[in-house]
Chain A
Amino acid sequence: MKLMVNGEAHEIAATTLAELLAALDYEGEWLATAVNSDLVHRANRAEFRLSDGDRIEILSPMQGG
């Protein structure tokens, strides 16, 4: 399946958002996820099924003004 993850194209076998995070070694309570510009709650990642062409954002706390 072709996915855009944080702006980069990936070819990944993951079928759920949780599987994608694990495949890319994203781990931690400080991560936030969105698919196609909508928030996907932490609790829903395991059941959230990805589709070909989905745009995924994985964000972390960062300095800000």
Chain B
Amino acid sequence: MFDLLGAALPSRLLLGTAQYPSPAILADAVKTSGASVVTVSLRREMAGGWGGEKFWSLVNSLGVRILPNTAGCHSVKEAVTTAKMAREVFGTSWIKLEVIGNHDTLQPDVFGLVEAACILCEDGFTVFPYTTDDLVVAERLLGAGCKVLMPWCAPIGSALGPVNIMALRSMRGHFPDVPLIVDAGLGRPSHAATVMELGFDAVLLNTAVAKAADPVGMARAFGKAVEAGREAYSSGMLEPRDMAIPSTPVIGMAAFR
């Protein structure tokens, strides 16, 4: 079991619920991946969509923990109000806090993020901040009351994978006791395995699964990659070196000369 802020979770994979071809495929992907948490949002109801009551029923039937987000919010006020609305609807004080600062990269407005985190932590929320890999911002978020950090590894939906391994390694090194979840930018199961091997506690992804040719198959692959990466990290990996070391014993070789 993975203890995330007091919640005993069966896996270290958190999965988004957007962009799937159908509700049935979404449900299958969540089950197949073994994801323990799903992210959801709040929006105006649209004709022809499968939000609202249908989506509400589907999410409740999955039997996993719900992490509402403030996706799309560009101001502190928007994010704080959305978080409060989400708490009432979803009945959880967990909130994935997004305050977006740039339309092209969807990178967080880290100044607004810290301000909103202060307000929401003070109000009793458990804030999961979607942030960059900047150590100083991370410190400020912890100072604001956050108990977990969710750095991006690349822009949302980009599928680039970890573009700055050094920054992620620094985060792990600087905050050994803070749960760290890589959120955004993962494209392939090997990306998830890579960040898990760095010692990250979990990953959150959406597009890489939802937009795969076979979302259910990709969900399974990501589930395995997250497990493999974590087990590798826990098992102590070899440090790379430049020179060869024979793996077969040298002692006892026959002398044919």
Interface positions of A (Cβ within 8 A of B): 6-7, 28, 30-34, 37-39, 41-42, 57-65
Q: Which of A31, A37, A41, A60 contacts B77 (CB 8 A)?
A: A37
B165 vs chain A, min Cβ distance (A): 23
Given contacts A60-B56, A64-B17, A65-B16, are A32 and B51 in contact (CB under 8 A)? no
Q: Is B44's CB under 8 angstroms from A61's CB?
A: no
Across the interface, do A59 and B44 meet the contact criterion of CB distance under 8 Å? yes
A39 touches B81 (CB 8 A): yes
Q: A34-B81, A61-B90, A65-B39 are in contact. List 17 more A-B contacts (CB 8 A).
A: A28-B56, A32-B42, A37-B81, A41-B88, A60-B52, A61-B41, A61-B51, A61-B56, A61-B89, A62-B40, A62-B41, A62-B55, A63-B50, A64-B18, A64-B39, A65-B16, A65-B17
For B7-33 the 0/1 string (1 means CB < 8 A from A) is 000000000111110000010000000
The B interface is mostly helix, strand or loop, or mixed, namely mixed
Which B residues touch A32, using CB under 8 A? Answer: 42, 85-86, 88-89
Contacts of A64 in B (CB 8 A): 16-18, 39-41, 68-69, 71
By a beta-carbon cutoff of 8 Å, the part of chain B in contact with chain A is 16-20, 26, 39-45, 49-53, 55-56, 59, 68-69, 71, 77-78, 81-82, 84-86, 88-90, 156, 206-207
Please classify the interface of chain A as helix (H, G, I), strand (E, B), loop, or mixed, using the class held by over half of its residues: strand
Instruction: Assess whether A61 is in contact with B42, with CB atoms less than 8 Å apart.
Output: yes
Which residues of the partner chain B approach A63 to less than 8 Å between Cβ atoms?
A: 16-20, 26, 40-41, 50-51, 55
> Would A62 and B51 count as touching, CB distance under 8 A?
yes
Residues of B within 8 A of A31 (CB): 89
Residues of B within 8 A of A33 (CB): 85
Q: For the complex formed, measure the closest distance between the CB of A9 and the CB atoms of chain B, giving whole angstroms.
A: 15
Shortest distance in angstroms between B128's beta carbon and chain A's nearest beta carbon?
Answer: 13
In the bound complex, what is the Cα–Cα distance between A33 and B85 (angstroms)? Answer: 7
Task: Please name all residues of chain A whose beta carbon is closer than 8 Å to the beta carbon of B49 when the two chains form the complex.
Answer: 62
Most buried by B among A6, A34, A59: A59
CB proximity of B186 to chain A, nearest CB, Å: 11
Report the nearest A residue to B20, measured CB to CB: A63
Q: Which residue of B lies closest to A39 (CB)?
A: B84
Tell me if B88 and A61 are in contact (CB < 8 A).
no
- Chain B neighbourhood of A30, CB < 8 A: 52-53, 56, 89
B53, B59, B78, B206: which contacts A28 (Cβ < 8 A)?
B53
A39 to B80, alpha carbons, bound, how many Å?
9
Complex: chain A residue closest to B59, CB-CB: A61
Given the interface contacts A63-B18, A65-B69, does A34 sit within 8 Å of B45 by beta carbon? no
Q: Which residue of A lies closest to B54 (CB)?
A: A61
B85 closest partner in A (C-beta): A32
The chain B residue sitting closest to A43, CB to CB, is B88
Contact, CB under 8 Å: B71 / A58: no
- A and B contact pairs by CB, cutoff 8 A, 29 listed: A28-B52, A30-B52, A30-B89, A31-B89, A32-B42, A32-B85, A32-B89, A33-B85, A34-B81, A37-B77, A37-B78, A38-B81, A39-B85, A41-B88, A57-B44, A59-B42, A59-B85, A60-B89, A61-B42, A62-B43, A62-B55, A63-B19, A63-B26, A63-B41, A65-B18, A65-B39, A65-B69, A65-B206, A65-B207
